[in-house]
Amino acid sequence: MVLDMESEFYKIAKTITGNPKNFHKLFAISPKGRIAMMGADGGVLVSNGMLGILLRSNPERAYRCGKRSARDSFGELVKEFDEEVENLPPQKKFELAIGMARATGWGEIEVVSFETKRMEATLKVARTIEGGFKEDSGYMLTAGYLAGLASICFSSDMDCSTEQDGSGMTVFRLHRGKG
């Protein structure tokens, strides 16, 4: 018998809060440590209140949290598939990583450019996870998350900066970290 735990989490959330749409799924992980992209065995749910607190805190903390979350989730996924994914070139790994980010609700992500030799990428993102909050977090949670994904793809520490493009989208520029 297959049990859809994601639905079970939302049922529990609805019972507790009356509105499961006030929860955000950062990523899902099974009891055996396997990442589940579709239909989770387990999950990390963060309420609007908790996400708001994180976004109001020090932007560097939100950035580190996003980066760690990406490294944990995508890093474990890469390890799970061993050489099949680990030996892919950075651009192919990045395509997988961005697909995972889209599927888990990090936003509508468009890859504008990707430079393997320079270890740089530019993305445009609409509807980021921070988008529904009044706090101006500078999109640091998403920036950290994207930097964490890129760090796995390039096998090197990556950083991310943000800017608004005037059309309502946020531009994220990924580049090699300074440390």
* Domain of residue 107, CATH code: 3.30.1380
Question: What's at 127, amino acid-wise?
Answer: R
pLDDT of residue 114: 96
Question: What's at 103, amino acid-wise?
Answer: A
User: How many domains are contained in the chain?
Assistant: 1
Each of the 179 residues of the chain gets a pLDDT tens digit; together they read: 334 445 555 555 556 555 545 545 544 444 443 444 433 333 455 556 667 777 777 888 889 888 988 888 788 778 777 677 778 899 999 998 998 888 877 889 999 999 999 999 999 998 888 876 765 667 888 999 999 999 999 999 999 999 988 887 899 999 998 75
- Name the DSSP letter for residue 139: T
pLDDT of residue 32: 41
The tokens for 28 are 């899902």
3-class SS at 26?
strand
pLDDT of residue 48: 64
pLDDT of residue 69: 85
- For residues 100 and 74, the answer to whether their CB atoms sit within 8 Å is yes
Structural domain range at position 102: 5-176
- pTM for the model: 0.74
3-class SS at 158?
strand
